[in-house]
Amino acid sequence: MNRRKFNTAMMATCVTGTLPDFAWAHSAYPSKPVKFIVPYAAGGQPDVVARVLTPQLSERLGQPVVVENRPGASGSAAYNGLLQSTPTDGHAFILSDGAMLSISPHINKETNYKLGKDLLPVALVGRSSLYLVAHPKTGVNTLQEFVAAVRKKPSEYTYGSSGIGSNHHLTMEALKAALNLNIRHVPYRGSGQSTPALVSGQVDFSIAAMPSIAGFVQNGQVKVLASNAANRSPLAPDVPLIAELVQGFDFATILTVLAAAGTPAIAIDRVSRELAEVVKLPDVVKRLYGAAVEPIGGGPSDLGKALEREIEVMARAVQAAQLKAE
């Protein structure tokens, strides 16, 4: 058979759907339980999001979807867990925030994986804002007042974060660099320490997620000044943006689903499409809002673009913070 006849025959076969291997691949995926590996301990935001999504995703896929927590080594433990899960058959994924690719490689030498080469984008699940918050003793009620106060008393004010190299830390370091501010950093081990430090007045300001501060905001114990996202959140529509003062500022956390290189396209496409529908379900939207996550439901292209941007932005923030990989 010459090449032209061969190509014609192949096209006809594809159109009529008589390629048994292709048909089998479509009908058989997934053929066993699907695993979502989370690079954080149970109870963190990515873990909560995974457990909100997986029951509905399981129903749509027709197979159990299980969550496995693999914290440690700035994401390397989760990545290694992915590689140990026969990832190229498309039944294992990572659900993480963007920090695994945008921050971890800058602060941990063990994290040598790269977007596009080692990890592939699958789904952009949602976005979560962080907030600049003030203790009442500062007398600061707006972002503009914050800038004026810090400029008036350089190095006298302090801010708390959930740790060195966290999104909280880099948000403030990027703001300091953009506005030439001098405010001292006090790192804590998670928001479980940084929020009480703010409420008790041990630090003057903090960068925090809404669930950790909502009750204190309601009681007037802390004051929300601004969000670190590009757009106002439907969860806090009256809170202004840092971006309204610093053009292009966007350090909101993104929630992602990633696959190992070599994962079949059919698996990525199926999981991406199903997740896009799952995040629109009213009960899921309500529960995501409870975790301070705005659902998006973007596909591989959307996530790829978001991660490329975040990787570039975080690299500049890491440089401003003078962090080095250890």
Closest CA to 276 of 34, 60, 91: 60
Tokens 């439901």 map to which residue? 297
Which domains, and CATH codes, for the chain?
Answer: 34-127+254-315 (3.40.190.150), 130-244 (3.40.190.10)
Q: Which residues of the chain have pLDDT under 50?
A: 1-26
Please, are residues 61 and 270 in contact by the beta-carbon 8 Å criterion? yes
Q: Give me the pLDDT at residue 15, please.
A: 36
Q: Give me the pLDDT at residue 296, please.
A: 98
d(CA 50, CA 67): 7
Q: Give me the pLDDT at residue 6, please.
A: 33
d(CA 146, CA 149): 5
Model pTM score: 0.89
Q: Give me the pLDDT at residue 311, please.
A: 97
Closest CA to 256 of 281, 279, 237, 240: 279
Q: Give me the pLDDT at residue 20, please.
A: 38
Q: Do you find a cis peptide bond into 295, omega within 30 degrees of 0? A: no
Q: Give me the pLDDT at residue 176, please.
A: 97
DSSP-based helix, strand, coil % in the chain, nearest 5: 45, 20, 35
What would the pLDDT profile of 88-138 be if each residue is shown by its tens digit? Answer: 799 999 999 999 999 999 989 888 899 999 999 999 999 999 999 999 999
Give kind and range of the element (H or E) at residue 208: strand 205-209
CB atoms within 10 A of CB 304: 17
